[in-house]
Amino acid sequence: MSRLFDIEGLTSQEREMQKEVLKKFRSKISPSLAKIVKQSDAVRKQFVPSPYEALDFGTDAPFEEGKMNRGIYGLERIYEDRAVLTPYFECSAYCRYCFKKTRTLGGEAKRMSDDDIAAAIDYIRADSRIKTVLITGGDPLIEPQLLENVLQQVNQIEHVRNIRIGTRNILFAPENITDDLADMIAKYNYIDFGNPRQSKNISIGLSINHGDELTSEVVRASQKMIRRGLAIRGQMVLMKGINDEAKTIRELIELFNCVGIVPYYLFHCMPVIGAKHFRTSVQKGVDILRELSPLSGSLAPHYVYVTQVGKHRVGPNHPFTYVDIDGQSYIKATTPYKAADFMAYSDSEALPPLHEIDENGYIVSYYLDGHDQAEVLA
């Protein structure tokens, strides 16, 4: 076992469980990240396989890899105004709260082919309601040539006004965020001063979960983007024992603000296989939002939990309806999404499990809640 994966103080039962986890799931930590993992407990917990991943829990495909909207590998759409492209499916490290660690995802079809990209571009071009294209992964910054190929083609679609790139590679490999890469991305930013509505904006969504991740190298790499006019939005996943206190989230957002990263989303941790020990109650995030509410609005992220039909926004005074299903607590909520729209955009014939239609045609979702106690082994 890599010494990096060696967690001090494990009981013999936990050691056996960690061995099982290492067999069951993939593990990867990039060299730059390894330096931070050695220094920060909060970062180590995100990347070093925990024995608690062995607990029987969750799904390995909350969002299927590749998605295959309309048979096009790498195209995904669930909203009217946005489409998602995943040109490259690999990451430089595997976050333990993500389904990418699942072995069944290894080996095959790690990228969109030229034909996939051409078909996805044709699809987006044919629907002028799509104003935003999110290019995500895996990590698109690992493969700059593939990214540029996609950017060039998306950029030529007139009605697409926003292009967003989702990444963690600024954290995983800041040394790879070169001036050339930043120049290549920034050249797609375009302001039409004569007719501002014809402008196009390209921005970056950066996932950072704890202030320890914003090292000098990561901030320097981020600044290469920001100084070229690329806004970076910071998104966080709420995780037990890592950032589930208002003080920790506040420190991170204050850090975002002072290095020029715009605080954006706080995600509740999804019910991913092996992620049970990370999942707080949804209410925990509400409590954090409430503590941040008296402070500047610049410290208030959008708090959301995500089901297969889309994001569910949660405010600081949000009431929840809890439902017991097979002995587990679910949050029942009417979404802002119409079932007919969802099925049309996502090319689905039915709603996903744990979703139903109300009398007005809106989707009602049931989301598995977490809890705020530490996991206890039987």
Cβ distance to ligand SF4 smaller for residue 116 or 139: 139
Q: Dig out the tokens for 196 from the structure.
A: 């501002």
142 lies in the site for ligand SF4, by CB under 6 A: no
Q: Of 75, 98, 255, 363, which one interacts with ligand SF4 (CB under 6 A)?
A: 98
Rounded distance between C-alpha atoms, residue 90 and residue 32, angstroms: 17
In sequence order, the 6+-apart residues with CB closer than 8 A to the CB of 370 are: 240, 268, 269, 276, 278, 279, 280, 281, 282, 284
284 lies in the site for ligand SF4, by CB under 6 A: no
Query: Which residue from 218, 260, 209, 215 is spatially nearest to 239, judged by alpha carbons?
Result: 209
Stretch that binds ligand SF4, among 60-68, 92-100, 299-307, 364-372 (CB under 6 A): 92-100
For residue 100, the minimal CB distance to ligand SF4 (Å) is 4
Rounded distance between C-alpha atoms, residue 131 and residue 162, angstroms: 6
100 lies in the site for ligand SF4, by CB under 6 A: yes
Q: Of 17, 21, 43, 95, which one interacts with ligand SF4 (CB under 6 A)?
A: 95
In sequence order, the 6+-apart residues with CB closer than 8 A to the CB of 146 are: 87, 88, 111, 140
Q: Of 44, 45, 164, 168, which one interacts with ligand SF4 (CB under 6 A)?
A: 168
138 φψ region: left (φ > 0), alpha (ψ -120 to 50), beta (else): left
Cβ distance to ligand SF4 smaller for residue 139 or 369: 139
- CA-based Rg of the chain, rounded to a whole angstrom? 21
Query: Which residue from 188, 224, 232 is spatially nearest to 207, judged by alpha carbons?
Result: 232
Q: Of 21, 37, 91, 160, which one interacts with ligand SF4 (CB under 6 A)?
A: 91
For residue 84, the minimal CB distance to ligand SF4 (Å) is 12
Give the number of residues in contact with ligand SF4, rule: CB under 6 A: 9
Cβ distance to ligand SF4 smaller for residue 266 or 299: 266
Whether the Cβ atoms of residue 81 and residue 302 lie closer than 8 Å to each other: no
For residue 170, the minimal CB distance to ligand SF4 (Å) is 11
Q: Which positions lie near ligand SF4, rule CB under 6 A?
A: 91, 94-95, 98, 100, 137-139, 168
